[in-house]
A and B are shown apart, each in its own frame.
Chain A
Amino acid sequence: MLSAEDRRLLYVLSQDCRLTVEQLSIQTGLSCDYIEKKIQQWEKDKVIVKYSVLINHEKLEDDRVTALIDVKVLPQRGQGYDKIAQRFQKFPEIKSVYLMSGDFDLCLVVEGKNMHDIAQFVSDKLSPLDVIETTSTRFILRRYKDFGIEFHGEEERPQRLMITP
């Protein structure tokens, strides 16, 4: 179980991973020493996997296309899905791989420069794999919300009075 202190540290860190150890210490009430050791441990244990940045590519007009590809695979004797999923993991075009319930077995999130790019990837790389039975590709047309952040729509600006009891 995560302690209240560690939960606090993870929360503050996940709000802004650029904070220095000193700043983290102020905002969590934990000592710099503790924080340094804890973060090192988490990095080593791959609890903290990466310090990343969430980019809104639409703003950059550096458009890219994302597709969700549902894949039905032919079960491999004695291997379950892990083997094939691990094979998919290796493709740099594939950003996420999930084992799913429902009609398909795996869901892949694939990124490319344009639709043609992704179509090519599916026909050249994926479909020829002997374990694949069928695929169904759906393109994402617009990203409204990702990682808990709203990308479109009006920002809420609650109007508060300047001073209230």
Chain B
Amino acid sequence: MKQYLSPLALSLKPSGIRKFFDLAATMEDVISLGVGEPDFATPWVMREAAIYSLEQGQTMYTSNAGLIELRRELAKYLAKHQGLNYNPEKEILITVGASEAIDLAMRALINPGDGVLIPDPSFVAYAGCATLAGAEVHYVPTRAEHDFRLQVEDLQLAYTPNCKILVLSYPNNPTGAIMTREDLLPIARFASEHDLIVLSDEIYSDLTYAGNHTPFATLPYMNNRTLHVSGFSKAYAMTGWRVGYVAGHEDFIQTMTRIHQYTIMCAPIMAQVAALEGLRSGESAKREMIMEYDRRRRLMVNGFREMGLNCFEPLGAFYVFPEISVTGLSSDEFAEELLKEERVAVVPGTAFGPGGEGHIRCSYAYSTEQLLEALNRMNRFVKKRL
């Protein structure tokens, strides 16, 4: 039946993750470091708020843009914690996860043939959504020698005049890299000079372990140029609820809201209620999770370095991205053999773009006991190959 399918849809590459998922699912006693979501359940205050709202019969559609109370609270939160100022009536849209916000941004902005610049490696959805919107994807390599921070020289090389959107995704999945204000300034200048719209996915911003996160939209002249995408999945441990948001210039947000109105209607109401409670009273639960991630992060980096692998220190998100090429294996081979031999599941770096070759992504959203056992097994695996 393939002849019926759209060539565009067919051109989407199968996810590099799928293969490992299927393989790992057939095995027992697997310790998986392959998960891109928190191991914590959503903080109880937020679950409680959602349960109560269900008891009260809050089960209807909300306005397309999302509950106004949530947008107002979010505007306050963004102003207080991130120095971002958005009008909750016109400049914020509540979406079904950051995922939907990424899709909407591409659809609202892309004309067929426009170029989208995407740092490589990064989260899998950007290239997929850009492709579906008819864009041409231009990967911008990022490198271990720069701690995977995007360099303006590499941006310059990947740029062609048809480029319209630059995706930024810091703290980064899969590398854990962050970009400081100083790192971002030349990128902002480049965006101005080349009239690029910046889709800045800052969903891991709260999970920054050194210094303060700099929202891209706070840089000089970047406010109107930036679509600030984020969500509750990571910092509030809410992946299954499906709630995120995008904020930006009214013209962008209104058009994205129109697409959202036809395709989605609104984000689930109980997720919005829980998110609202998170903004109001979830701060301490969030802080505690961050403390715990930070401790595990250090444990992991140390573990990999002791094995003899190069591992730059990730300062954000909940991933470490050690370099495994010294073992003589490719990322794919490493992940597959490790799974078969030691029953540890990791994700090959190449699942996040060609630039991930030579690396594996290990999530530390696991208990310290599991992490230590996984490190133990990996140590055995690596030692045999050095």
Question: A residues bordering B, Cβ < 8 Å?
Answer: 7-8, 11-12, 15, 26-29, 156, 158, 160-165
Contact = CB atoms under 8 A, between A and B. Distances in A.
B32 interface: yes
Interface stretch (B17-25, B177-185, B220-228): B17-25
12 contacts: A8-B291, A8-B294, A11-B291, A26-B302, A27-B295, A27-B296, A156-B41, A162-B32, A162-B34, A162-B345, A163-B35, A163-B347
Contacts of A8: 291, 294-295
A163 B291 contact: no
A163 B124 contact: no
Interface string B326-353: 0000000000000000000101000100
Contacts of B21: 161-163
B347 to A, nearest CB: 6
Interface residues on B, range: 20 to 34
Contacts of B291: 7-8, 11
Contact of A165 (B30, B36, B292, B294): B36
B345 A158 contact: no
A131 B220 CA distance: 70
A36 to B, nearest CB: 18
Given A11-B295, A28-B295, 7 more contacts: A27-B296, A156-B41, A158-B39, A160-B39, A161-B35, A164-B36, A165-B15
Contacts of A162: 21, 24-25, 30, 32, 34-35, 345
B40 to A, nearest CB: 8
Nearest to B32: A162
Most B C-beta atoms less than 10 A away, residue of A7, A27, A163: A163
Contacts of A27: 295-296, 298-299
Interface in B1-19: 15, 17
B294 A160 contact: no
Given A26-B302, A156-B41, A158-B41, A164 B35 contact: yes
Contacts of B37: 160, 164
A7 B345 CA distance: 33
Nearest to B34: A163
Contacts of A161: 21, 35
A156 B20 CA distance: 27
Interface string B164-187: 000000000100000000000000
B219 interface: no
B125 interface: yes
B34 A28 contact: no
Nearest to B20: A163
B17 A165 contact: yes
Nearest to A29: B298
Which 8 pairs between the two chains have the least Cβ-Cβ distance? A163-B34, A27-B295, A162-B32, A26-B302, A163-B21, A162-B24, A164-B36, A11-B291
B123 interface: yes
Nearest to A7: B291
Nearest to A24: B295
A163 B21 CA distance: 6
A21 B21 CA distance: 39
A15 B123 CA distance: 32
B302 A165 contact: no
A49 to B, nearest CB: 21
